[in-house]
Chains A and B, each alone.
Chain A
Amino acid sequence: MRPTRPWIRRIVIAELALIALVLIVTGWFYWQSRAATTAFNGMLLDPPQDVPVVRLQGSDGQAHALTDFRGKVTVVFFGYTHCPDVCPMTASTVTRARELLGNQADRIQFVFVSVDPERDTPERLASYLAKYDSSYIGLTGDEQAIQELATAFGVHYAKVQSTSALGYLVEHTASTFVLDREGRLRAVLPFGLTPEQMASDLRTLLRS
């Protein structure tokens, strides 16, 4: 009986050490996975998705498809100029995020696709976007073409009649989409990111 005792002790010590090691390793993994989720604020699409080539009227007077902006990281938002709250907020978040990117800002193109082509003329979009940055492009035009593009992005929009003096309102998906430099859908950013969060995501996408 006696000679086995140190063995039991040693095994117990070994087991304890093993448990500690397992705890450390799992803890490290947990921390790692948390670090990874906080690294990107939006949702990355892997592999990136192709988007259809839909030509619309640009606020700069030229026809554009989203694929025209290849070579830049393109930030796409579907909204309308009679939207006084969410759309300007997104536009200003993008603007501040670009400011945070400093000299890399030129590598980011913001495109605002109208979901209210009835009221949003290219001229109206131009003056609406000029408040933020002269490089921003608004797209409007044929209702069916816009619908096709929106569907490809999984964007829902619908006219809603209201008692407001605005007449009808348009409800729409408030997410922001990011196309990579090859013009493919690479990330979806939820509404409400801070400029810092958006800038961090854009920086990641500029690197990849």
Chain B
Amino acid sequence: MVRRVIRSYRTIALWIVATSLLFSVACAGGTTPTPTAASSPTPAAAVQPSPTTVPSPTPTTPPTPTPVPTPTPSAMHGTPTMGHGMGMGMATPPVQNEFREGPFILRNVWARAATQADGLSAVYMVIENTGDQPDRLLHAHCDAAQTVELHETRMEGGVMKMQPVDGIDVPAKGTVELKPGGLHVMLIGLTRDLNPGDTIEVELHFEQAGHVHVEATVVKP
């Protein structure tokens, strides 16, 4: 009987010890910065080399583009899909239109507003190939620009690199999206202002399908 009482006390004591231990852990956890918490003084930020205000001995850019306060990979939204454009900035396409020609359905064709003085703009769209043959967009022509080129923006370690591409492959029964941060049709040497609401004529030249004509709606930048 006495033993029982003693033992039940022991259980209670064990409980108290265990809960108080957990509480202390909880409190400590609450006050110490968790490595993942962005709002608390993060060790991650402390580990990051601080942006050097010390002038570098060589004024030339270091060959390895490692921006000092590089966002953590977890913060790099959309990084995995950056190769062919990131689904960002615009959750919904700014324009909803559709053009059908041959095996192609071209959707959401839009251009960014720009002045003739700016001289530059870009056209984006979704190209769907419903045919059984793969095709390739070779070049494009536009009535509002002297030169039209196909370009691709790529992200490498937080650095934006843009380069002309020879063509854009559109697989059979496949879709290619031209969007900000990825593939785009570049308008160089604008011959007039592109104001929001305007439409511009764009002719796409495909390797197999030949000429495909679309109209891009100009959207507020």
B side interface size, CB within 8 A: 85
Of the candidates B34, B39, B59, the one whose C-beta lies within 8 Å of that of A44 is B39
Docked pose: A157 CA to B65 CA in angstroms: 8
Taking CB atoms, residues of chain B closer than 8 Å to A32 are 34
Of the candidates B29, B56, B74, B115, the one whose C-beta lies within 8 Å of that of A151 is B56
Per the 8 Å Cβ criterion, residues 1-53 of B in contact with A are 3-4, 7-8, 11, 14-15, 18-19, 22, 25-26, 29, 34, 36-42, 44-46, 48, 50-53
Docked pose: A89 CA to B122 CA in angstroms: 11
Docked pose: A51 CA to B147 CA in angstroms: 40
Interface 1/0 per residue, A34-49 and B, CB below 8 Å: 1011011111111001
Chain A, Cβ-Cβ closest to B62: A156
Chain A, Cβ-Cβ closest to B33: A46
Task: Output the least CB separation between B41 and chain A (Å).
Answer: 5
B66 touches A192 (CB 8 A): no
Chain A, Cβ-Cβ closest to B91: A194
Task: Output the least CB separation between A124 and chain B (Å).
Answer: 7
B221 touches A191 (CB 8 A): no
B117 touches A124 (CB 8 A): yes
B29 touches A29 (CB 8 A): yes
Is B149 in contact with chain A by the CB < 8 A criterion?
yes
Task: Output the least CB separation between B115 and chain A (Å).
Answer: 6
Of the candidates B37, B55, B121, the one whose C-beta lies within 8 Å of that of A33 is B37
Chain A facing B: main interface SS: mixed
Is A22 in contact with chain B by the CB < 8 A criterion?
yes
B89 touches A89 (CB 8 A): yes
Interface 1/0 per residue, B58-69 and A, CB below 8 Å: 010110011111
B112 touches A88 (CB 8 A): yes
Taking CB atoms, residues of chain A closer than 8 Å to B82 are 192
Task: Report the contact-size class of chain A (Cβ under 8 Å from the partner).
Answer: 35 or more
Of the candidates A11, A155, A192, the one whose C-beta lies within 8 Å of that of B88 is A192
Taking CB atoms, residues of chain A closer than 8 Å to B62 are 156
Given A25-B22, A46-B45, check contact A175 B88 (CB 8 Å).
no
Per the 8 Å Cβ criterion, residues 49-70 of A in contact with B are 49-52
Per the 8 Å Cβ criterion, residues 82-130 of A in contact with B are 82-86, 88-89, 91-93, 95, 124, 127-128
A163 touches B164 (CB 8 A): yes
Docked pose: A45 CA to B50 CA in angstroms: 9
Task: Output the least CB separation between B105 and chain A (Å).
Answer: 24
A156 touches B61 (CB 8 A): yes
Docked pose: A46 CA to B33 CA in angstroms: 12
A192 touches B181 (CB 8 A): yes
Taking CB atoms, residues of chain A closer than 8 Å to B15 are 14
Of the candidates A7, A84, A132, A156, the one whose C-beta lies within 8 Å of that of B66 is A156
B133-141, B155-163, B197-205 - the one binding chain A: B155-163
Q: Which of B86, B147, B188 has the most CB of A within 10 A?
A: B188
Given A156-B159, A171-B162, check contact A44 B42 (CB 8 Å).
yes
Task: Output the least CB separation between B129 and chain A (Å).
Answer: 24
Taking CB atoms, residues of chain A closer than 8 Å to B11 are 10-11, 14
Nearest 10 CB-CB pairings of A with B: A154-B68, A156-B65, A36-B37, A190-B71, A192-B88, A174-B160, A165-B147, A154-B67, A40-B38, A188-B69
Q: Report 16 cross-chain contacts, Cβ distance below 8 Å, ordered by A residue.
A: A43-B38, A46-B46, A85-B122, A127-B118, A132-B221, A147-B59, A154-B70, A166-B120, A169-B162, A171-B161, A172-B159, A173-B160, A174-B159, A188-B70, A192-B77, A194-B91
